[in-house]
Structure formats: C-alpha cells, structure tokens
C-alpha cells in the first residue's frame, strides 16, 4: 500500500512524503478500509504546518476525511462490515491520504454503493459544518428566517445555500468576485452581493427591511462587520474560519443595543462533545441528503497519491472552481 506520511512540522512540500508500506492489520473494534477518494482541505495543510488546533505526530498519515470500502475487520468486530462502503469521519484518529487505512468502526458511517464517490468523500466535514451552523444557531424553527454568510462560493457556502434552500430559509450571501456571485445564484441563493465600497447599502436593499437571524462567517474583518450590523435583535454571528486573517467583528453598539451575539464553531468540538449515538444519527441523515444530490459541492480536480506535489501546488493557488481530492485507482 502507499500513503502520504507526515515527517516534520513544516510547509507541506517539506513535511510530506509518499511512502510504501505493508497493509495495516485492524485490531479489535477496527476495520481496514480500501480508500476510493479523500478530500484535500486547507486545514490538512495547516495541520502539517503546525498551525491548526491539533498537532500531528511525525509518521502519521495525513488526510482527515474520505470514502472507501471495508476489506477486513479486527478480532471481536462485526464481520458484517466487510464489503460495506463507508465514509470516514474527521476524528483525526486515522489518515485518509492512503490506499488503505485502519479506522475505529465508530469512525465509519455506511454510505450507499451507488452514491458519487467524490461527494461522499467530502461528507464528514463541510456538509456537517453547514448543518450545524444552520441547526444549532439562531432560530432554526423559523421557516422564514434570513441566513447571512461570507465566502458564499466556498464549499461550506455552497452547502449552506443548498441546505437553507432545502429548509426554506432565505440567504443573503457575500462573495468577493462577480464571477463567484453567478455560481452562488445558480445554487438557489436569494441574494448575492459582491464585497466592495457599496456592500452595506446593497445588503440593506437586499434585505428590504428584514434582519438576519444568523450570519455565518469564514472571512472575518469588514465583511463580517457588515453582516453583524444587519442582525435582528438577539441575532448571532457565528465565526468558523478567518480566511482574511482578521478576527470577526460585531460592533459594541450591536452587542449592547441589539443584544447580538458573537460565537464560534469548530466541528471537532461538536463531534467530541456530542453523544456518539447522536453524532451517528446526524451523519446517517446527512448521508441521505448527499447521496440524493440535495447537498453537493463543486469539484475542481482529482489527483493520485503519486501526484501529491501537484495537489499541494494546486491547493496553494486555489482556482475558485471547487474542491481538490485524491482518488485511488486500485486496479
Ligand atoms: N470551524 C470548522 O469546523 C470548519 C469546518 C469546515 C471548514 N472550515 C473552514 O472554512 C473555510 C472554508 O472551507 P471550504 O472548504 O469551504 O473552502 P473553499 O471551498 O476552499 O473556499 C475558500 C473560500 O474562501 C474565500 N476566501 C479565501 N481567502 C479569502 C479572503 N482573504 N477574503 C475573502 N474570501 C476569501 C474564497 O474566495 P474566492 O473563490 O474568491 O477565492 C472561497 O470562497 C476554511 O478556512 C476551512 O478551514 C472550518
């Protein structure tokens, strides 16, 4: 088997290497998964560079999510799992940039044989982030609520737009490029505004006197401040990344006078602090939405492990055309 191993905390080109190894043997409660596809997320590179909340151990295989098929299970483990197609949850207990990986069976969710491999490979992180952002904040029971977001053309943004549309919520979206706005409109967004000097006026016009129930932000800085200033009384700005390098902003006037809230979200915390049965139930529900095409994200390119340096280069200079993934041709 082959895998991308982490050798030291450094930039990915210096920290990673392709290594050959014997197939690992699953222990009790574990399964051996032959990988089909694994997502390449920016956080994977932050992780190897030592800039993430979690630190890898040298020798670890990199890659936080993916899809594959169980080929063997360890002792005292349900043999009915053998042959099952599964998505691997992003628990950082296994590496998915590998032709084969061993994972705890509790980190595996069954997925349908006929589902799109690339979409299922992306199941664990971004779509569940969208679910949590919309379900766990603001007033999800209000079917008419407005959801605002920055970086709306990101993969998380695409899931947010599609999930909000599925649930009947209205979305107010900020992007930083006009071409990206057309993409987001095509996914069912109610309004898309291009960031710039007129963004506040355009958001006001788009909302037509309404206010945002919740705003989800992965950019920070001025773009987040615009959404923060359009929250309803008691509304919430949820930060889940700071891609501009700036912290999210809700003004003191909005925090005090409008009783707005500013909070954060990290999927890993949700997974760690939620009972396992609920985590698994939530993922089973999500599998249905991804498998039937309700939720999807654009894919730009795929790579084989041999091309991992090209993947690192492509990730460093994003095209804006969608996600990058590894695929694993086994024959
Ligand atoms: N907290 C969590 O649990 C959690 C979960 C999932 C994802 N995330 C994070 O959420 C972010 C989005 O992930 P993704 O996979 O959806 O990303 P993605 O598909 O790669 O998209 C990146 C997006 O960020 C925009 N962007 C990048 N730099 C920007 C800047 N300086 N100012 C404004 N916009 C900028 C890009 O706009 P252009 O297309 O115009 O370049 C694009 O829309 C990442 O930082 C990821 O690590 C966090």
Distance 81 CA to ligand 1 centre (A): 35
Distance 300 CA to ligand 1 centre (A): 15
| pLDDT tens per residue across span 282-305 | 999 999 999 999 999 999 999 999
Q: Where are the domains of the chain?
A: 2-125+269-327, 137-264
Which residue stretches of the chain have pLDDT < 50? none
Residue 330: its pLDDT value, please? 77
Closest ligand 1 atom number to CA of residue 46: 47
Q: Give start and end residues of each alpha helix (H) in 155-198.
A: 155-167, 178-186
151 lines ligand 1 (CB under 6 A): yes
Residue 120: its pLDDT value, please? 98
Residue 286: which of 164, 124, 149 has the closest Cα?
124
Residue 331: its pLDDT value, please? 57
- Domain at 137-264, CATH from 1.10.3720.10, 3.40.50.12780, 3.40.50.880, 3.40.50.720: 3.40.50.720
2 lines ligand 1 (CB under 6 A): no
Distance between CA 18 and CA 159 in Å, rounded?
32
Q: Is 152 helix (H, G, I), strand (E, B) or coil?
A: coil
64 lines ligand 1 (CB under 6 A): no
Contact 97, 3 (CB under 8 A): yes
Residue 254: its pLDDT value, please? 96
* Rounded alpha-carbon distances, angstroms, from residue 294 to 95, 158, 286, 302: 28, 11, 10, 22
Does domain 2-125+269-327 sit in CATH 3.40.50.720?
no
Nearest CA owner, ligand 1 atom 20: 154
Two domains, one topology: 2-125+269-327 and 137-264: no
Distance between CA 189 and CA 23 in Å, rounded?
46
Contact 89, 124 (CB under 8 A): yes
């Amino acid at each position: 088997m082959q895998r991308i191993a982490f050798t030291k905390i450094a930039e990915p080109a210096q920290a990673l290497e392709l290594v050959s190894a014997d197939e690992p043997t699953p222990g009790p409660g574990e399964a051996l998964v032959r990988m089909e596809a694994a997502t390449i997320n920016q956080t994977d590179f932050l992780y190897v560079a030592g800039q993430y909340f979690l630190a890898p151990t040298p020798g670890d295989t990199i890659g936080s999510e993916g899809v594959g098929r169980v080929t063997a299970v360890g002792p005292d483990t349900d043999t009915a799992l053998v042959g099952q197609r599964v998505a691997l949850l992003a628990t950082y207990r296994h590496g998915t940039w590998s032709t084969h990986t061993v994972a705890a069976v509790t980190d595996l969710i069954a997925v349908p044989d006929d589902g799109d491999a690339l979409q299922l490979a992306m199941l664990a992180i971004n779509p569940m982030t969208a679910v949590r952002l919309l379900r766990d904040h603001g007033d999800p029971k209000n079917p008419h609520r407005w959801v605002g977001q920055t970086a709306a053309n990101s993969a998380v943004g695409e899931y947010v737009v599609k999930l909000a549309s599925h649930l009947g919520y209205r979305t107010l979206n900020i992007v930083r490029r006009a071409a990206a706005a057309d993409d987001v409109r095509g996914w069912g967004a109610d309004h898309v505004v291009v960031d710039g000097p007129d963004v506040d006026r355009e958001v006001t016009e788009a909302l037509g006197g309404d206010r945002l129930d919740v705003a989800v932000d992965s950019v920070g800085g001025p773009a987040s401040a615009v959404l923060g200033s359009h929250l309803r009384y008691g509304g919430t700005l949820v930060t889940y990344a700071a891609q501009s390098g700036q912290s999210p902003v809700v003004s003191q006037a909005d925090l005090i006078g409008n009783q707005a809230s500013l909070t954060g979200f990290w999927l890993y915390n949700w997974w760690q602090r939620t009972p396992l049965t609920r985590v698994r139930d939530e993922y089973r529900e999500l599998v249905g939405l991804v498998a039937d095409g309700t939720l999807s994200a654009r894919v730009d390119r795929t790579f084989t492990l041999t091309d991992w340096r090209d993947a690192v280069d492509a990730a460093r200079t994003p095209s804006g055309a969608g996600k990058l993934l590894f695929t694993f041709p086994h024959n």
